[in-house]
Amino acid sequence: MKCPFCSSVDTKVIDSRPTDDFSRIRRRRECIQCGKRFTTYETVETFPVVVIKKDGSRDIFNRDKLLNGLLRACEKRAVDFKTLDAAVDRIEQTIQNSMVREVRSDQIGELAMAELRDIDEVAYIRFASVYRRFKDIDGFLEELEKLKKSR
């Protein structure tokens, strides 16, 4: 494994353990050359999923992109990183379990909104306002009403 600090490929594993959901192996590594430590994760290799965007272009599914979107929605909210990481894991697992090679971006958006609805309602509304591209206050109020009814 290449050291992210000095780019040396001479590293050693100090500690290995499964993540809380047992879907990945967390490895603490130490660079032999510079002595700095870093963490890597080992996952099961899955087939690539292609995301079909609204404009018709295609891109490989990127869990980090999804996680960053959820993090932005939860900015300054009392939501910890582990909760969002677990939500992204569930979304990714749902996509993988569907056994489709291509998924529309709006399907991923709906899965993300469903997760956020259960995690934090304010973050849900923030995400929905960007995802659904509210044009005016009426769209915003409509989404709030849906949220209130689902309680």
The whole-number mean pLDDT for each consecutive block of 10 residues of the chain, a chain of 151 residues, reads 95 94 92 97 85 94 94 93 94 90 93 92 85 70 77 71
- Do residues 96 and 114 both lie within one domain? yes
Question: What pLDDT is stored for residue 21 in this prediction?
Answer: 82
Q: Is residue 26 part of a domain?
A: yes
- Do residues 35 and 56 both lie within one domain? no
Q: Is residue 129 part of a domain?
A: yes
Question: What pLDDT is stored for residue 135 in this prediction?
Answer: 67
Q: Is residue 91 part of a domain?
A: yes
- Do residues 82 and 31 both lie within one domain? no
- Do residues 19 and 90 both lie within one domain? no
Total domains present in the chain: 2
Question: What pLDDT is stored for residue 136 in this prediction?
Answer: 67
- pTM score, two decimals? 0.64
- Do residues 54 and 39 both lie within one domain? no
Question: What pLDDT is stored for residue 148 in this prediction?
Answer: 77
Closest by alpha carbon to 104, among 59, 47, 53?
A: 53
Closest by alpha carbon to 88, among 134, 146, 39, 43?
A: 43
Q: Could you tell me the strand order of the sheet in which 58-60 lies? A: 58-60, 50-52, 102-104
Q: Is residue 1 part of a domain?
A: no
- Do residues 146 and 87 both lie within one domain? yes
